Copies of this chain bind each other. A is one copy, B any other.
Amino acid sequence: MKVGILTSGGDSPGMNACVRALVRVGISNGFEMIGIIGGLQGLLDQKFRLMEARSVANIIHRGGTVLTTGRSKEFRTLEGQMKAAQILEKNGFDALVAIGGNGTMRGLHKLQQVWNGRIIGLPGTIDNDIYGTDYSIGFDTAVNNAIDAVDKIRDTAQAFDRFFLIEVMGRHSGAIALDVGISCGAEAILMPETVTNLKRVAEDIVAGRERGKNFAFIIVAEGDEEGDAMEISRKMSGLVGEQCRVSVLGYIQRGGNPTRQDRILATKLGAYAIDCIKQGKTGILVGEVKGELAETPFEESYTKKRSLDSYLIGLIDALTI
């Protein structure tokens, strides 16, 4: 059995741990494991590298991805997909495993229609917006990175009696924003999934000041409907009558050594992907749902929408009295 593996889309911490598990569990099962360099574009460019057990030594604890990643315009076309299928065929691949986000799952779904090898998708994105897994690989590390950053900004906010707007990643999802906001005691959490009412947020901040709160945070996801951090900050400054400081956390959320959760999840999902290939499964995203390994058809994985934890959302007001 010859298995290609690649990482695709934005990198996320834990991808290396996942690649390691795939390679070693694959080899333990007698498979030939081939790393594809540079994501789906690397497949089209036939950038292959034989992976041996030692090829993945000393990477479990590192962020980024040793296979590197990338986005491919060519693969989005039918021609690209058919070319990929021919390359896989010609090179004798029996299976392909790709770690990535929604875009990657969509790509695998297309590939499945033109290639009859076994294809398994694994959820690797900090955004945690893939249907079919409670957590995607990288989400926990990204949120912990953001929490560390906000804990630091808190020192300044407190020393200076200020209020801050902090933007976290999430163009289409408030998953990061919600967990960062709850974890750091944010006064308000602005997310694409909920209706943002800046006037009410401003009133809460003013009321908090009156109750003795000397500083406040608002956490906003990139994709909030009220605009980007700069725009919301301008509006908030006006509504509160006090300068709203802005911090855009940006790329620091993606990097760094992965956490326990991401290393364990990545290892389990990688190992289970090999189990699936062995059993002849194909066309599925492998994830973990409610503590159990779970399989979801590609199409559902990127078309269905994960919902945020409504119990947590319901607590925000009580937690910030």
Contact = CB atoms under 8 A, between A and B. Distances in A.
Interface of A: 7, 10-11, 13, 15, 17, 20-21, 24-25, 27-28, 38, 53-54, 57-58, 60-65, 68-70, 134, 140, 143-145, 147-149, 151-156, 158-161, 164, 179-180, 182-185, 211-214, 245-252, 254-257, 259-261, 263-264, 267-268, 271-272, 289-293, 311-312, 315, 317-321
* Identical copies of this chain, number: 4
A260 B147 contact: yes
A19 to B, nearest CB: 12
| Closest 4 A/B residue pairs (Cβ) | A152-B255, A64-B155, A63-B155, A11-B159
- Chain B CB within 10 A, most for which of A159, A250, A290, A311: A159
Given A20-B319, A69-B160, 16 more contacts: A13-B155, A21-B319, A61-B151, A63-B152, A68-B158, A68-B161, A144-B259, A145-B152, A147-B260, A152-B252, A155-B255, A155-B256, A249-B252, A268-B312, A268-B315, A289-B291
A62 B68 CA distance: 20
Given A11-B155, A147-B260, A318 B24 contact: yes
A193 to B, nearest CB: 17
A168 to B, nearest CB: 12
- Chain B CB within 10 A, most for which of A24, A161, A250, A251: A251
A11 B160 contact: yes
B211 A159 contact: no
A267 B156 contact: no
B179 A264 contact: yes
Contact of A254 (B61, B145, B152, B292): B152
22 contacts: A11-B156, A28-B317, A28-B318, A54-B213, A58-B154, A61-B154, A61-B185, A64-B155, A69-B159, A140-B260, A151-B255, A151-B257, A152-B256, A153-B255, A182-B263, A183-B263, A245-B251, A247-B250, A267-B312, A271-B311, A271-B315, A271-B319
Nearest to A213: B57
A82 to B, nearest CB: 26
B27 A159 contact: no
Contacts of A249: 252
A12 to B, nearest CB: 9
Contact of A252 (B140, B153, B255, B268): B153
Contacts of A183: 17, 60-61, 260, 263-264, 267
Contacts of A151: 61, 255-257
A70 B155 CA distance: 14
A321 B54 CA distance: 8
A183 B185 CA distance: 29
